[in-house]
Amino acid sequence: MKDFTPASMDRVLARFFQCGTWAACVLTGAGLVIGTKALTAGVALFILLPVLRVVVMLAVFARQRNYVYVTIAATVLAVIAAGCAIGLRLGPLGG
Amino acid sequence: MSFEATLWLFCAGMGASAAGGMLGMASGLFIVPILTMFFHIDMHAAIGTSIVSVIACSCGGAAMRAGLTNVRLALVLETGTTLGALTGVLLAGIVPVAALNFLFAGVLVVSAWQMFSRREEHADMSRPIPWRGLAAALDLHSSYPDSTLRRDIAYEVRRVPAGLTLMYAAGVVSALLGIGSGILKIPAMDNALRLPIKVSTATSNFMIGVTAAASASAYFLRGEIVSAIAGPVALGSVIGASAGARMLMKVRSERLRLLFLSMLLLVACQMFLQGFGIDLLERAGR
């Protein structure tokens, strides 16, 4: 586990996040001009960014063969997926 | 939505996030009161918007601070916060809006108290390092570079189960109120896990995005997030948060701290009144 270099992982995550934020901003900004669909896509991308970050972390840990942390990252993703399933099934509040 | 309303929402997101960024926290504490007070948006829609804004803030403001974030610890604690968020999403449908208002007021008061009593570094680092425990098994102990001493300082993580429990509670509150609840993570980080302040701040900021995403995705699929409101606020938040984080480096005056402290208490009063169904602005307008 000592071959793990936190600095390199930090850099990968930071760059990934910067690009993603720009993309979400551009999409949302365009949505304000051209209409609701792009706007919704922009908001969805904002929500997806942190989830994608966990996916990237999972991939990095998998490459290091650090299976304990692969499991932990997978658990986090599973909880988020469960939240999505609940959201889909329950439908809007008060309706 | 009219152009004017969109513009105002954008400004609200920017202002709230700049204020939050200057204090080193997310915008959530300000967004919900602003939306319910000035825009007369329904509480649940305001919470949905706020949680998206919190994610946007964590994108814009929290650039990863080199070496300070304990990524592994963040991931372990995220299991707690996301589970809490899941519980919060389930509770959101049951808890009445008035109770949410009271809870919000309570969290604001706690935040003001946290800001009033500064955080102190724990001197109690002399106890023998517990090399067994969960923290050792997960290889959580780490070190961070100290800029003044110019060397790496090793630290160890304590009482992970207690920390996880507190994180779960923070996750519930985060999902219920649409806040980042970074301020509620501080006690867990400082008292249970005994982290150095710099590390706990960076790690907590890192976790906010995922916690918020867990509840935001559920609310989004539930159709609770109105993108015509959330879009402009999120866009404003990214800009405001990065501006606020920059100002944090320059401004650090005592007066500013007191100003925000009184602002938090004022908003707390407003949310408390709102819980009783009293709308001050509407009364003044009459």
Write the ipTM. 0.85
Taking contacts as CB-CB distances below 8 angstroms, the residues of chain B near A9 are 71
At B21, the pLDDT band (50, 70, 90 cuts) reads confident
Confidence of residue A48 (pLDDT cuts 50, 70, 90): very high
In angstroms, the separation between the Cα of residue B286 and the nearest Cα of chain A is 30
Number of CB atoms found within 10 A of residue B253's CB: 9
Number of domains making up chain B: 1
Computed over every residue of chain B, the mean pLDDT equals 80
Lowest mean per-residue pLDDT among B17-21, B90-94, B125-129, B179-183? B125-129
What span, in angstroms and rounded, lies between the C-alpha atoms of B38 and B15?
Answer: 14
More confidently predicted of B67 and A38: A38
- B96-115 confidence digits (pLDDT tens): 888 999 999 998 888 888 77
Question: Would you say the C-alpha torsion B271, B275, B280, B286 has a positive or negative sign?
Answer: positive
pLDDT band at B282 (very low <50, low <70, confident <90, very high): low
Closest Cβ–Cβ partner in B52, B66, B210 for A46: B52
Q: Do A43 and B69 touch (CB under 8 A)?
A: no
Is there a contact between B60 and A21 if contact means CB atoms under 8 Å apart?
yes
CA distance B284 to chain A (A): 31
The answer to whether the CB atoms of B212 and A50 lie below 8 A apart is yes
- Give the residue-averaged pLDDT of A65-78: 92
Across residues B137-146, what is the average pLDDT? 73
Q: What is the mean pLDDT of residues B177-197?
A: 79
The predicted pLDDT at position B281 comes to 64
Residue A92: which of B64, B90, B224 has the nearest Cβ? Answer: B224
Q: Output the pLDDT for position A79.
A: 94
Structure tokens at B15: 């202002």
Q: Assign residue B40 a region (left: φ > 0; alpha: ψ between -120 and 50; beta: otherwise).
A: left
Exposure string over B14-36, b if 16+ CB within 10 A, otherwise e? bbbbbbbbbbbbbbbbbbbbbbb
A10, A80, A87 member nearest B69 (Cβ):
A10
Predicted local distance difference test score (pLDDT) of residue B172: 93
pTM for this entry: 0.85
Choose the mutation target among B44, B174, B217 for the interface with A, i.e. most A CBs under 10 Å. B217
Q: What is the mean pLDDT of residues B198-203?
A: 78
How many Cβ atoms are within 10 Å of A17's Cβ, its own excluded? 21
Per-residue confidence (pLDDT) for residue A95, from 0 to 100: 45
For testing contact with chain A, the best of B64, B143, B205, B225 (most A CBs within 10 A): B64
What is residue A78's predicted lDDT score, i.e. its pLDDT? 95
Question: Could you tell me which of B69, B138, B160 has the C-alpha nearest to residue A67?
Answer: B138
What pLDDT band is residue A2 in, cutting at 50, 70 and 90? Answer: very low
Domain that residue B232 falls in: 3-284
Which residue on chain A is closest to B76 by alpha carbon?
A: A72
Query: Which residues from chain A sit within 8 angstroms of residue B236, using beta carbons?
Result: none
- Give the nearest partner residue to B228 out of A36, A90, A94, using CB atoms: A36
Residue of B nearest to A17 (CA): B59
* d(C-alpha B239, C-alpha B246), whole Å: 11
Between the alpha carbon of residue B75 and those of residues A53, B7, B46, the distances in Å are 11, 37, 28
